């Protein structure tokens, strides 16, 4: 049987959907308060198992009769307040999964992130050969994903049969307004600013499809960047605005403006008790131009990615009614 951690999340749900659509049985992990997404409701191929990856005794029970594990569970946040939780979930939790895979002789496909590949390289595409290097200003999410990936490499050194994927920013129709969906919500409400930064984007359906195909191949001890195209934020925001019938952002947000914005947001959060709308880490990341190569995955599985303009349009259409 196949085990999927983080099965109620954006990527985990799509992966579970694709696996079960092939007639495969899936044991899907969910936390006590997690809600089963509509995409998976009523699916008889799924055996839901309540467990937290940081609860080692309960997690161990989930490994009974498991032969393959897709580790999708992770926390995504750019809020400095979440640092301790990020490290616990993304590093310690991954270490628990790795140890149990070793113990049970189970093949693992771990979902890392391009955040684990390090900062932008001037005039160069970031590839699978790049690794995160120490930077006093790096955000906690990047640290947590890098250290989590190191847990997998540690397991590989101890004999673990594993692969790693490093998706860029994942978008898709079922995102809602969380994660990457927050960008769509921002533009939908009417937003006038863009930054000079750039990043990679990929459709969630392509990420899940690549993971399924990689798991079934005779490959191990490899990592693969999953990114369809590199987009500047001005272009991304413009296409999202078009999808919602809004005016495209036309004012460049300078570094000093973002500095004021995140400080104001932090002050407002102290009074409201709600998370800040923008953090210092998010502001800094929005100014970086991080461009990724997808040549390795295209060569390995003859991968063809969905055009991003199509994915953006479909996502906008789905979110229009929310």
Residue 166's CATH number = 3.40.50.720
Whether residue 9 is contained in a domain is answered as: yes
Q: Does residue 137 fall inside a structural domain?
A: yes
- pLDDT above 70 (res 184): yes
Q: Please check the confidence at residue 262 and state whether its pLDDT lies above 60.
A: no
Which pLDDT belongs to residue 127? 94
* Count of domains observed in the chain: 1
Q: Can you tell me the distance from the alpha carbon of 86 to that of 70, in angstroms, rounded to the nearest whole number? A: 19
Residue 258 has pLDDT above 90, yes or no: no
Categorize the per-residue pLDDT at 75 as very low, low, confident or very high, splitting at 50, 70 and 90.
Answer: confident
- Answer whether residue 191 is part of any domain: no
For residue 122, pLDDT beyond 80 = no
Residue 124 has pLDDT above 60, yes or no: yes
**How far is Cα 282 from Cα 247, in angstroms, rounded to an integer?**
23
Indicate whether 236 belongs to any domain: no
Instruction: List Cβ neighbours of 68 (8 Å cut-off, separation of 6 or more).
Output: 2, 3, 106, 107, 108, 109, 215
- Per DSSP, helices labelled H in the chain are 10-21, 56-62, 83-87, 94-104, 140-157, 181-188, 204-215, 233-244, 255-272, 280-285, 295-301, 308-319
In a domain, 20, yes or no: yes
User: Is 106 inside any structural domain?
Assistant: yes
What is the reported pLDDT for 8? 95
- Residue 130 scores a pLDDT above 80: yes
| 162 part of a folded domain | yes
Torsion-angle region of residue 134: left (phi > 0), alpha (psi -120 to 50) or beta? beta
User: Which residue's structure tokens are 């969910």?
Assistant: 30
Locate 202 and state its tokens: 């990929």
From 30-34, 139-143, 175-179, the region with the lowest mean pLDDT: 139-143
- Compare 193 and 66 and report the one with higher pLDDT: 66
Residue 77 resides in a domain: yes
pLDDT of residue 277: 52
Domain that holds residue 16: 2-173+200-229+291-305
Q: How confident is the model at residue 102 (pLDDT cuts 50, 70, 90)?
A: very high
Give pLDDT, residue 115: 86
Give 197 or 26, the one with higher predicted confidence.
Answer: 26
């Amino acid at each position: 049987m196949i085990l999927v951690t983080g099965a109620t999340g954006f990527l985990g749900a799509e992966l579970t959907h694709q696996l079960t659509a092939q007639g495969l049985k899936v044991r899907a992990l969910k936390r006590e308060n997690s809600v089963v997404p509509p995409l998976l409701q009523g699916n008889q191929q799924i055996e839901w198992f309540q467990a937290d990856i940081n609860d080692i005794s309960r997690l161990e029970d989930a490994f009974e009769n498991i032969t393959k594990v897709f580790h999708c569970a992770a926390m995504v946040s750019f809020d400095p307040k979440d640092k301790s939780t990020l490290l616990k979930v993304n590093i310690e939790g991954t270490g628990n999964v790795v140890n149990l895979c070793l113990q049970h002789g189970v093949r693992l496909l771990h979902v890392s992130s391009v955040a684990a590949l390090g900062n932008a390289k001037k005039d160069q595409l970031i590839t699978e050969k790049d690794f995160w290097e120490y930077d006093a200003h790096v955000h906690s999410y990047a640290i947590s994903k890098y250290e989590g990936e190191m847990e997998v490499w540690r397991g590989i050194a101890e004999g673990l049969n594993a692969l790693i994927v490093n998706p860029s920013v994942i978008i898709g129709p079922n995102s809602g307004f969380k994660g990457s969906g927050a960008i769509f919500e921002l533009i939908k409400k009417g937003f006038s600013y863009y930054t000079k930064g750039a990043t990679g984007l990929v459709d969630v359906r392509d990420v899940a499809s690549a993971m399924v195909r990689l798991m079934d191949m005779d490959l191990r001890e490899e990592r693969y960047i999953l990114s369809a195209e590199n987009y500047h934020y001005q272009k991304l925001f413009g296409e999202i605005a078009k999808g919602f019938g809004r005016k495209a952002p036309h004012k460049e947000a300078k570094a000093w403006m973002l500095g004021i914005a995140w400080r104001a947001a932090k002050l407002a959060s102290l009074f409201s008790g709600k998370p800040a709308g923008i953090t210092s880490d998010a502001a800094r990341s929005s100014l970086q131009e991080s461009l990724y190569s997808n040549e390795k995955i295209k060569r390995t599985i003859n991968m063809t990615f969905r055009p991003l303009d199509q994915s953006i349009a479909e996502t906008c259409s789905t979110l229009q009614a929310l």
